[in-house]
Amino acid sequence: MKKQSNPLICDIETGMCGATDDSADMESKSTIRSTKKSVKAIYYTDPICSGCWGIEPQLRKLKLEYGNVIEIEYRMGGLLPDWSYNSGGIGKPSDVAIHWDEVSIHYDMPIDGDLWLEDPLESSYPPSIAFKAAQMQDNEKAILFLREIREMVFLQKKNIAKWEHIKAAANKVGLNIERFKTDFEGNAKALFEEDLKLGKELGVRGFPTLFFLDESGNNEIVYGSRPYAFYEIAILKLNSNAIKSEYSKSWEFLFSKYATLTAKEFSELSGTPRDESEKQLNELVVKGNLDKHTTKNGSIWTMKE
C-alpha cells in the first residue's frame, strides 16, 4: 500500500486518509469479539475524514441489505490531533482546501474545501469526543449525530470543533443536551482515548478502515474508500449463508430511512444511473417534495418539511 505521510491527505487511489505504510494485524487480537449478529464490523473513522465521507453511500446500502447480518461498531481514530507538524505538503489549514476540492470530485460527494480558508479546525479531537458522548447516551442517535456534524463540516463549512456547532448537532438528533455536555466534558474523553489505544493495538494506520469478524474470530479487512462489492464480499466470506435483504428503491422509502441524500447516495441506494438520479432529485424539488442545499462541489437533498 502506498505510503502516506500526512493524515489530512487522502490517497486518491486507495481512498485512505492517514499514513498507510503498516497493515493492521488481527491475528492475535483477543480484545475484539463478535456479538449478537453473525458478522461484526469495527469501523475506524474520524468526523473530518473525507475518505469516510466518500463511503457513506456504500455503508448506507450495506445497512439496508445486510443489516440483519452485520453490526457496525464505530470507533474514532483521531485524524488531526493539532497543527504541530509539517509533513506531506501540509503545514497549515489552507493547504487542505485544494485537496478537499479534489477528493470531492473523486468521491462524487459534495465537499467544500473553503472551510479551511474561512474557519479551520485546530483539531478533530473535540468532535470525536462529542461522538463518544453521544454514544454514551444512545448509539443510534450517535450515528445520526456523526452524520450531522459531517454535513456541517463538508457542506456547510462549519468548524465542528466549536461547541456551538456540536451542541446544535446534538440538539437536532434529539440528544439530552445537559447529559451530553456533562459526558462531553467528562467520561467521553476516556472512551475516545480507549478508541485510540485499541486502534494502535490493531495497527490502524489510516481511515476508513473496517475490520469484519465472525463469531470464530476469522476476519476480513477493507482499507479505504472502495466500491460496494468489497464490503459485500467481506461479509460473504465470513458468512456464506448471509441473505441479502430486499428493500424498496422508491425515493419515499429511501428518504424515510435516511433524512438526507446526495446524488451519489441516491444512485447507490436506488440503483438508478448517476445522471438520472440527480435529474430525478431535482424534479422532486420542483414538485415540492424535497429541499436542496447546493455547494460549489455538489448538492444534498432533504425531505421537505
Residue 108's contacts (CB-CB under 8 Å, 6 or more residues apart) are 263, 264, 274, 298
N-terminal to C-terminal alpha carbon distance within the chain: 46
Per-residue confidence (pLDDT) for residue 266, from 0 to 100? 98
- pLDDT tens digits, one per residue of 185-213: 999 999 999 999 999 999 998 999 999 99
Is-contact 213 32, C-beta < 8 A?
yes
Which CATH entry fits the domain spanning 251-303: 1.10.260.40, 3.40.50.1820, 3.30.420.40, 1.10.10.10?
1.10.10.10
Separation of alpha carbons 63 and 80, rounded Å = 28
Per-residue confidence (pLDDT) for residue 100, from 0 to 100? 96
pTM of the model: 0.92
Separation of alpha carbons 124 and 95, rounded Å = 16
For residues 138 and 14, which has the higher predicted lDDT (pLDDT)? 138
Mean pLDDT, rounded, of the chain: 92
Distance of CA 71 to CAs 26, 221, 296, Å? 18, 15, 35
- pLDDT tens digits, one per residue of 20-75: 444 455 544 434 444 579 999 999 999 999 999 999 999 999 999 999 999 999 99
- pLDDT tens digits, one per residue of 63-118: 999 999 999 999 999 999 998 865 556 778 988 999 999 999 999 999 999 999 99
Where do the CATH 1.10.10.10 domains begin and end in the chain?
Answer: 251-303
Is the model's pLDDT at 215 over the cut of 80? yes
Per-residue confidence (pLDDT) for residue 140, from 0 to 100? 98
Is-contact 124 161, C-beta < 8 A?
yes
Q: In 3-state terms, the chain is what percent helix, strand and coil (to 5)?
A: 45, 15, 40
Q: What are the start-end ranges of the H helices in the chain?
A: 50-54, 56-66, 94-107, 115-118, 125-137, 139-154, 163-172, 177-185, 188-202, 228-238, 251-257, 263-270, 274-286
User: Among residues of the chain, what percentage have pLDDT more than 70?
Assistant: 90
Give the pLDDT band (50/70/90) at residue 6.
low
Per-residue confidence (pLDDT) for residue 87, from 0 to 100? 56
Is the model's pLDDT at 1 over the cut of 90? no
Region 121-134: what's the mean pLDDT? 98
Separation of alpha carbons 139 and 161, rounded Å = 21
Per-residue confidence (pLDDT) for residue 4, from 0 to 100? 46
